[in-house]
Structure 1
Amino acid sequence: MDDFPSRVLLTLRRFIGVPLPGTDYYLHAAYPAGEASYRVHLVSASSDSLVVVLPRTSPGGEEIGTWWYTGALRATARLAQRGGLSGFPYEHGHAVIDVEDLVVRGEVSQDIEVTASDALDYVVGDLVGDPLWHGAAASAAPDLYRLVGFDLRTPAVVRVYLARGDRVIGVDLAVRDDESGQPRMVGWWASAKVIAILNPDAPETLAAHRVHVMRDPVCEEIYDLTRWA
């Protein structure tokens, strides 16, 4: 099974919930776009939202090390913040930025950018046995699912994309507590919820949460767990 999307998510997780350095762009979505690229949505309060298309392979055909994406995204966001991006198409109101074009234009380096923060993250990740560095599956239950992407649909709901064999499903989870309205604490354990509905001995549990009126091109089926305790 292809673990490239999981490695991308592990690489980019440092940008979830915090602005990219030097900008007010936030990561709002990240998911595979076919076999050749990975798409990241960047949203800003002061500039146009972006869809950034990251290539999976180099011009020579080698698979790109996912840590290159951190520098490429930072550089793209800084260019956008300065108004330095032009000539790109729009899709559903968002500028679609192909990073390969920025590399050709000399605005994004082909070299891997490593900052002091990156170096610290890499060392800590290595010492704690981070699956990004040690090859473990990026899943709390690899026999049931693998996380391959996510989309922050609203400030309160995130859709996680889970690979199950050759299929990808979308599961909507509440990221805020229903009663307090505050962000959920770590101890909420979303993985426990997902494992429970994917229990192969109780297929009716998953079926009961399927949403039939919604469509998402990234996944085949959608399940709503936003109100499930």
Structure 2
Amino acid sequence: KHLLLPALIPVLMIVCGVEEWIWLLLLPLAVWATLQRGNYQRRILAEQLNKKWMQMALHTSAVTPLEQCEWLNKLCLEAWPNYINPKLSLQFASIVERRLKQRKPKLIEKIELLEFSLGSRPPLFGLDGTRWTTSGDQRIMHTSFDWDADGVNILIFAKLGKPLRGTAKIVVNSIHIKGDLLLMPILEGKAFVYSFVSTPEIRLGVAFGSGGSQSLPATELPGVSSWLV
């Protein structure tokens, strides 16, 4: 037993030396990790302060800089075929049918909306940029609206009364609308109202019966422009 103790002393010294070297290596690592954690926390705090500042500037600034809307147009393009188009077509079909019957000329005995589809191409927003302004406590978004819709299928059937008699079909197969649009959130952001700054430029591609197609300005089709303004 007494002979074993002197043999263990060098081993213990080596272990103590290794342990000391380990602590010497871990100490700088611990200091570095502490500094990195502090830098990370300061960076997070700076980002939070910047976000709060940007939000405050957004709410207090009378006019915001122009922003691009590629993301919104891309979203509309993806959601248009299976979501936006069916819902808008159903809603607009109800509006158009009601107004057609309200403004039916005396020469037309009966008028019906048989089909209504807005085509495969969604409108484009903010091609020249979008900005927000403040009017009192109300935020208003200013953006452009460009819509060249092809593949449109709006079929209207009309039965003519005396003295003309007979039937007629009117097909709207393309829509062009261009103007400057105002959007205003209401009801705490749950909905919004819109209006064009002025009467937009509108053209409709119209085919009568089985004949060809021709493009007519909206002013030649009673009430079309007033539906949008």
Query: What's the TM-score once normalised by structure 1's chain length?
Result: 0.23
Larger Cα-atom Rg: 2
Greater fraction of residues in helix: 2
Name the TM-score, length of structure 2 as normaliser.
Answer: 0.23
**RCO comparison, higher one (Cα < 8 Å, 6+):** 1
